[in-house]
Structure 1
Amino acid sequence: MRATVKVWDPLVRLFHWSLVASFAVAWLSADEVKNLHEWAGYAAAALIGFRLVWGVIGPRYARFTQFIRSPGYTLGYFRDLLAGREARFVGHNPLGGLMIAGLLLTMGTTALTGWMQTTDTYWGIEWVKELHETCANAMLALVVLHVGGVVFSSVRHGENLVRSMLTGRKAAAGAEDVA
């Protein structure tokens, strides 16, 4: 059995699963329970705010500088992935980092445009409503891609990434891995 290391701190894990829950509640209550939908959106906004701060001051693997890579590096990783020779990353791989950025931006925009619709200035404004719905649909598409990427990486590298987001632990870096 391979040795493990602590990667995801408790706050990153709590953030992750809380954002999953708030998005699911907001999505499922969108046309049915307005107050629940709005509160789920406020929770998501607060979680995004926390994650932006934690991405700067949190522990190593929580920091954006650890997993947000340059476009060239990310493209190189994607090429390696297509060729079946991508490195295993102890933290997020470059495509995972890009996904996190996309999820945070899209969920943040969804929450912002949802809140805007509750204000006198933007209530009933069609472009705000359309942007909100477009972002919510984009979030759903990103979630599907994210889950697909997690399953793909789990199989490809022989590790259960869902379990690691529950326990906080992953297999320690091997000789070929990026720590």
Structure 2
Amino acid sequence: MSSNTLQTIKVWDLLIRIFHWSLVGFFTLAYLTEGEDEWMTIHSYAGYSILILLVFRLLWGVIGTHNARFSNFITRPKEVLVYLKGLITGKAKDYIGHNPAGAMMIVALIASIAITGFSGMALYATDGHGPLATSFFATWPEGAIKEVHEFFANFTVFLVVIHVGGVIVSSLLHKENLVRAMVTGKKQRPVEQED
């Protein structure tokens, strides 16, 4: 029998929360300073910061806390489809950590942001700047690199919009504030009691 009593459960560790909100801030800064010559230094350092954050997240996804580890939340595509179908019908299973759609979004965001960052470094190298300036990346065609960089920056924004929409839908469906959980690291769950 379920009780209306709630218990607080720790879900997201401090490092995951710092990573998440730092990524939001640095990506926003990089996106807003794109294409402006007078802001190029800020844009490039925001990009470097993003790539450092991604390296941390990949490492923490292997050695981090339970809910941070990729092995504890990345699922097969079939499970993602089952979850999305349940979301549409209002019967999606509630997860303590990332749900299958959220896990898929994390993988997509990491890949898109990594391509954006790396192509940005390669683009900067074509102008003789950055850590790749003396590498063979500096010889790549600037126009093609710029197209890749801009496409994936905009694709990342598209993914972010879907991510935020998913957070809103999931928060409403499961009656929980996922944004607050990513700030505090905690979720509230009903205490299950037996008669």
User: What is the TM-score of this pair, normalised by structure 2?
Assistant: 0.86
Shift of 1:124: 5.1
Query: In the aligned structure 1, how far is the partner of 2:140 from the partner of 2:85?
Result: 45
Q: Find the aligned partners of 2:59 and 2:45 in 1 and give their Cα distance.
A: 21
What fraction of aligned residue pairs are identical, expressed as a percent?
Answer: 44
Structure-2 residue corresponding to 1:105: 111
- Equivalent position to 1:163, from 180, 183, 189: 180
Structure 1 partner of 2:134? none
Partners of 1:9 and 1:168 within 8 A in 2: yes
Q: Which has the higher strand share?
A: 2
Structure 2 match to 1:56: 62
Counterpart-to-counterpart distance in 2, 1:162 and 1:122:
43
Deviation at 1:173, TM superposition (A): 6.8
Quote the offset at 1:116 in angstroms.
0.6
The C-alpha deviation readout for 1:117-168, integer Å capped at 9, x for no partner, is: 1224246522111010000000111111111111111111111100000000
SS at match of 2:12: coil
With over 3 angstroms needed to count, the CA separation of the structure-2 counterparts of 1:174 and 1:112, relative to structure 1, is farther
Other-structure match for 2:90: 84
User: Deviations along 1:62-97, whole A, 9 cap, x unmatched?
Assistant: 001111100111111122222221111000100000
For residues 9-66 of structure 1, the C-alpha deviation after alignment (integer angstroms, 9 at most, x for no partner) is 0000000000000100001111221110000000000000000000000010000111
Q: Tell me which amino acid in the other structure corresponds to 2:96.
A: V
* Runs of 5+ unmatched residues, structure 2: 127-137
1:8 is matched by which residue type in structure 2? Answer: W
The whole-number CA distance in structure 2 between the counterparts of 1:157 and 1:122 is 51
C-alpha separation in 2, matches of 1:41 and 1:123:
19
- Give yes or no for contact 2:66–2:72 (8 Å, CA) kept in 1: yes
Q: Residue 27 of structure 1 is aligned with which of 15, 23, 31?
A: 31
What are structure 1's unaligned runs of at least 5 residues?
A: none
What CA distance in whole angstroms lies between the structure 2 residues aligned with 1:132 and 1:117? 8
Which residue identity is paired with 1:77? Y
Task: State the distance in 2 between where 1:134 and 1:19 align.
Answer: 19
Rounded to whole Å, the distance in 1 between the matches of 2:184 and 2:114 is 26
Residues matched between the structures, number: 175
My pick for the range that moved more, 91-100 or 111-120, is 111-120
Normalising to structure 1: TM-score of the pair?
0.93
> What letter is aligned with 1:107?
I
Q: 1:123 to 1:34 in 2, by over 3 A?
A: farther
Asked if 1:14 corresponds to 2:18, the answer is: yes
What is residue 121 of structure 2 aligned with on the other side?
A: 115
Say whether the 8 Å CA contact 1:9–1:59 is kept in structure 2: yes
Confirm or deny that 1:131 pairs with 2:153: no
